[in-house]
Amino acid sequence: MKTYIVLDESGAMHLKNERYFIIGGFVTQELHKVTSAHKRVEAVVKRIKNIPLNNRVELKSSKISFSQQLMFINELLSIKGVIPIVIIVDKDNLTRFTASENMAYNFFVKNMLNYLFKCPIKLLKNKDIELRVDNRSTSVKARKDLETFLTWEFEKKKLDLKVHYLNSKYNRDIQMADYIANMFWKKYNSPKIEITSRIKKIKKIYISKFPYKDFGKNPSLREKTIVNYNNNDIILKEDL
């Protein structure tokens, strides 16, 4: 049975008015249940927003209220076998990190996967893995680069890892990943937003922080940048 890793990002590496860039989503083998869950909540949100049910509209997190976003998240996390994941990038502490937007994205996806494969996640013991990501206007070259990059990185694991770039407008699982990523974008870039008590189903989420050693520090007080690729966190609901 195939394992799916579904990802979307929130924020952008080049924007100066936000400190944290997020890539988030979930791991599952129950992709059909995820799409069914999205469809159920979509119908409710469309009624709230007076959108005809047969209208194809992408209900991105930026276009719905946070309460509506949480409806999708709680429905997603009620599915047994869905594991939320996220990497949080502290851009203020990347003074020596220079890369294009696409190269940076590929690098952080690889970093996240390196972390996840070291975690006790049974679904990732599977050798048949499909990475599903938003096409995010990515160039054809960058898309090919990501699969090649990951194939080289995990060659010793003998994974059959395929990367599929998908249009989020037509893929409900990518939209679900958007809600997860954006929730953490809100938490870290707008820390006054309270999310913990409003997430009902989550028990554990795997969070990778980059760069771990200096994550969250005031850059003006930092004497030197030390990037640690291995230390990350498994964060429980009460710690969100």
Strand-by-strand arrangement of the 3-10 sheet? 160-166, 128-134, 3-10, 20-28, 83-90, 204-210, 233-236
pLDDT in tens, 105-136: 889 999 999 999 999 999 999 989 999 999 87
Contact 163, 37 (CB under 8 A): no
Instruction: Give the CA distances from residue 156 to residues 152, 160, 164, in Å, rounded to whole numbers and listed in that order.
Output: 9, 11, 22
Q: Percentage of the chain with pLDDT > 90?
A: 56
- 183 pLDDT exceeds 90? yes
- 239 pLDDT exceeds 90? no
Q: In the beta sheet, which residues pair with residue 9?
A: 23
* Average pLDDT across the chain, whole number: 86
- 227 pLDDT exceeds 70? no
Over range 219-235, report the average pLDDT.
51
CATH code for the part of the protein at 3-239:
3.30.420.10
| Of the candidate ranges 45-49, 74-78, 166-170, 198-202, the one whose mean pLDDT is the lowest | 198-202
pTM (2 decimals)?
0.88
